Every structure is written in C-alpha cells, then in structure tokens.
Amino acid sequence: MCWNLSSVLRPALIWGALALAVFVPVIAAANSPLLQWRDPLYIFAGLAGVVGMTMMLVQPLLAIGVLPGVSLLASRRLHRAVGAALVLAVLGHVIGLWMTSPPDVIDVLLFRSPTPFAIWGVLAMWAVFGAALFAVLRPRFPLRAWRWGHTVLVGLAVVGTVVHAVQIVGTMEVVTKIALSVLVVTALLWAIVRRRVWAMGLRRL
C-alpha cells in the first residue's frame, strides 16, 4: 500500500512542482503593474520572452527523459517540439519588440545598444537559433561532435537568457525571476552531468 502510494505521489509532486515553476513566473509577469499602460503588442512580446525562458527549464528534463510517465522516445519527441516552440517564442519576443520600437531593436541586433542586458539578450537569441539549426542538421555530424556543439550553444543560450532576465527591470517579477533563473541553470547542469555519467558508463561496458 505504501509502495503504491509512493509511486503515485512522487510523480504528482514532480509534475506539480514543474507546473508551479513554469506557470507562476508567467502569471506574475502578466500581472506586473509595469504593463498596465503598455501596448498589447509590447505585452505579448514581453510574455513571449517569459514563456521562452520557462521552456528552457523543461528542455533539459525532456532531453534526458526524467519526467515521470513519459517514455524516453516520447520525451525526445517532446524535446524537439518544445525546441521549435522556443524558437517561435524568441521570434515573437524580438519581432514584437521591433514592431513597438524598431530603432531600439535594430541597435540591439547590431550590438550598438548601450544597455548590457540587451547585448546578452541578442547573444542568447543567436545561441537558441544555432542550437535549433544544430538539431535540424544532426544527421550531418558525428554524434559526439553534435552533442558537444549542441550543448555549448544551449549553455550559451541559457547563460545569455539568465543574465538578460536578471539585469533587466521589466515584465518579470523579481523573486520568481530569480527562482526561475536558478532552476533553469540547475536543470541544464543536471542534464549535462547525467548525460556525462551515462556516456562514461557506456564506455566501461
């Protein structure tokens, strides 16, 4: 009876914690007082960025297949689908901001912006696009080289996104922003270590 209860309770707790980690920052951002007088397009662009950051928390967990009740094959398929959605979220974030203030976004893309958070944001954007391109071109690379390249680009995307989010004073609420940043970095590091341990174990066989 205790075993059955544990087998049900543990997955429920994991999924519940993940849902809180994903939805609370988005809800907090959507209720930010800084959005009260903003244009709807600006609000959409800001929330697209927040949603994209929450996807960065889910992606490493899907990559290593640790979410309960999801097979490794299904987890890998979801990883690809969420990766595509992440690219769309980044595009929504950038295009939405460009439509509200084209000169500012052009300065950012050309690395002429005086604000450091903007530079980190555009570096994260290109890293996301690079990681997605690597995923599409996976059959063209040796597996080990592909994993290294994809992991480096994902790491750059995460670092750039976290620094961008922490430095900027905007849509995201401070406490949930810091908590999400810590969780995103932790999930990525856990995935890298776990994948490394698997690889070492396979080499010993």
Q: Are 117 and 133 in contact (CB under 8 A)?
A: no
User: What local confidence, expressed as pLDDT, does residue 92 receive?
Assistant: 96
User: What local confidence, expressed as pLDDT, does residue 197 receive?
Assistant: 47
Task: Tell me the residue type at 92.
Answer: G
91-107 pLDDT, tens per residue? 999 999 999 988 888 88
- The structural domains of the chain, ordered by start, are 2-204 (1.20.120)
User: What local confidence, expressed as pLDDT, does residue 159 receive?
Assistant: 97
User: What local confidence, expressed as pLDDT, does residue 25 receive?
Assistant: 96
pTM: 0.89
Taken in order 51, 154, 82, 126, is the CA torsion positive or negative? positive
CA-to-CA dists, residue 180 to 26, 69, 190, angstroms: 10, 24, 15
Residues in the chain: 205
Judged by DSSP in three states, 135 sits in: helix
User: What local confidence, expressed as pLDDT, does residue 200 receive?
Assistant: 44
User: What local confidence, expressed as pLDDT, does residue 9 receive?
Assistant: 85
Q: Which residues of the chain are modeled with pLDDT < 70?
A: 1-6, 196-205
Chain centroid offset of residue 109 CA = 20
